[in-house]
Amino acid sequence: MPLLSITHSGHATTITLDRPDSMNALGIDGDGAEFEAACHAVNADPNVRCVILTGAGRAFSAGGDVKAMKERTGNFGGAPIDVANGYRTNIHRILRSLYALQVPVIAAVNGPAIGLGCDLACLADIRIASDRAKFGVTFLKLGIIPGDGGAWILPRIIGEARAAELLYTGDVIDAATAEKWGLVSRVVPADNLMHDAAAMAGKIAAMPPHALRQTKNLLRQGRSMSYDSALELAANTQALMHHTRDHVEGIDALLEKRPAIFTGE
Reply yes or no on whether the pLDDT at 39 is more than 80. Answer: yes
Q: What are the domain boundaries of the chain?
A: 4-205, 209-255
The DSSP bridge partners found for residue 109 are: 129
Confidence of residue 147 (pLDDT cuts 50, 70, 90): confident
What's the pLDDT tens digit per position in 203-224? 999 999 999 999 999 999 988 8
pLDDT given for residue 78 in this prediction = 84
Reply yes or no on whether the pLDDT at 86 is more than 90. Answer: no
Q: Do domains 4-205 and 209-255 have the same CATH topology?
A: no
Average pLDDT rounded to a whole number, residues 68-82: 83
Q: Is there a contact between 70 and 123 (Cβ–Cβ < 8 Å)?
A: no
Its pTM stands at 0.94
Average pLDDT rounded to a whole number, residues 55-84: 87
Average pLDDT rounded to a whole number, residues 135-158: 93
How large a percentage of the chain has pLDDT more than 90? 85
The DSSP bridge partners found for residue 52 are: 14, 106
Q: How many CB atoms are located within 10 Å of the residue 141 CB?
A: 13
pLDDT given for residue 111 in this prediction = 97
Reply yes or no on whether the pLDDT at 44 is more than 80. Answer: yes
Q: The domain 4-205 is classified under which CATH number: 3.40.50.720, 3.30.110.30, 3.90.226.10, 3.40.50.300?
A: 3.90.226.10
- Taking alpha carbons only, the member of 192, 261, 191, 199 closest to residue 12 is 199
Cα dihedral 81/83/88/94 (nearest 10) = 180
Collapsing DSSP to helix, strand or coil, 182 comes out as: coil
- Taking alpha carbons only, the member of 127, 142, 167 closest to residue 67 is 142
pLDDT given for residue 83 in this prediction = 86
The fold of 209-255 is Lyase 2-enoyl-coa Hydratase; Chain  A, domain 2 (1.10.12)
Reply yes or no on whether the pLDDT at 74 is more than 80. Answer: no
- Taking alpha carbons only, the member of 82, 92, 68, 218 closest to residue 150 is 92
What's the pLDDT tens digit per position in 96-114? 999 999 999 999 999 999 9
